[in-house]
Amino acid sequence: MRTLTGLQPSGKFHLGNYFASIKPMVEAQNLGKDDMFMFIANYHAMTSVSEAKKLKDATFEAAAAFLALGIDPDKSTFWVQSDVKEVLELYWILSQLTPMGLVERAHAYKDKVAKGAEAHHGLFSYPVLMAADILLFNSNLVPVGKDQIQHVEIARDLALKFNNAHGEIFVLPEAKVEANIATVPGTDGAKMSKSYGNTIDIFSDAKTLKKQCSSIVTDSTPLEEPKEWKTCNVFAIAKLFLDDAGQAELAKRYEKGGEGYGHFKMYLNELVWNYFGDARDKFDYYINHKNEVYEMLDTGANKARKVARATMEKVRDVVGIYR
């Protein structure tokens, strides 16, 4: 069983990235049951990052962040998307059989354009490149948030269409959504996303973290009155760090009254800061030891290319690429 996921280096890693994607991958990696593939999606990031230095720096920082958060290159295949060029070749080949209607129905594109993103071909064809990422490596499972399920379904549709025309070349992927954390709320209650500017960042300094936690939208219930924890954005984020007993204890504090939302925001700030303490130290180490990071990425890219080349040999043959 092979599990694949990728994250864009288009900004600082935040709690949504971690709980919806990285944490489940690290846990699966450490169990050792599945074949884990994880990559930094820098081609995808080009849809939103146009400055060369910014993209280069963000790609390296993403690698350092993955390693700091527990990705082990000895247990997982870990690489940068652009180091395996076969993904672009497969992207073009899949484009030849992708109906316009299929990508026109992609809600992620519509949502981003509605929020002010430039409507260009790269953003429009994003699902086809994502399909190439998934199918190139014979991925069985793709951990995603709810908003990305449709993209995995598109990859599956394209795999079926290709296989029907050329034989059983691609594995049919399935989306894997963690039921309790499929969508991590941001500071405004919407899905936590860099593009929405509502994130709580993992490796921010203490001052920035406090500011982000303090900016979480809450209602105007007076300090002395009981508060509704079931619909509170602070509680929704805090519970990600707590076991059942911890969640029950926090809920009682809400119901008792006598504490304002400021108290709960400070509590959340402490949870985040303490939880990622070791990861921050590791992140600082990798940021200052670039050669070690590059060596690990090179090793991962070599492993990924072996799988990619084997897939593309079959694909090229059946579509008529002459050698």
Q: Per residue of the chain (323 residues), give pLDDT as tens.
A: 999 989 899 778 999 989 888 888 899 999 988 899 999 999 999 988 889 999 999 999 999 999 999 999 999 999 999 999 999 999 999 999 999 888 888 777 777 767 777 778 877 889 999 999 999 999 999 988 777 889 999 999 999 999 999 999 999 999 988 766 657 899 999 989 887 899 999 999 999 999 999 999 999 999 999 999 999 999 999 999 999 999 999 999 999 999 999 999 999 999 999 999 999 999 999 999 999 999 999 999 999 999 999 999 999 999 999 98
Task: Give pLDDT, residue 147.
Answer: 77
112 is catalytic: yes
pTM for this entry:
0.88
Residue from 12, 56, 110, 191 carrying the catalytic annotation? 191
Q: Residue 104's pLDDT is what?
A: 82
Structural domain spans, the chain: 2-183+290-319, 194-279
Per-residue pLDDT at 117: 73
2-183+290-319 has CATH 3.40.50.620 classification: yes
pLDDT for the residue numbered 166: 97
Select the CATH number that applies to the domain covering 194-279 from these four: 3.40.50.10490, 2.60.120.560, 1.10.240.10, 3.30.420.40. 1.10.240.10
Q: Is 314 a catalytic residue?
A: no
Please identify which of the residues 12, 23, 112, 265 carries the catalytic annotation.
112
Catalytic annotation present for 194: yes
Give CA–CA dist 6/291, Å, rounded: 22
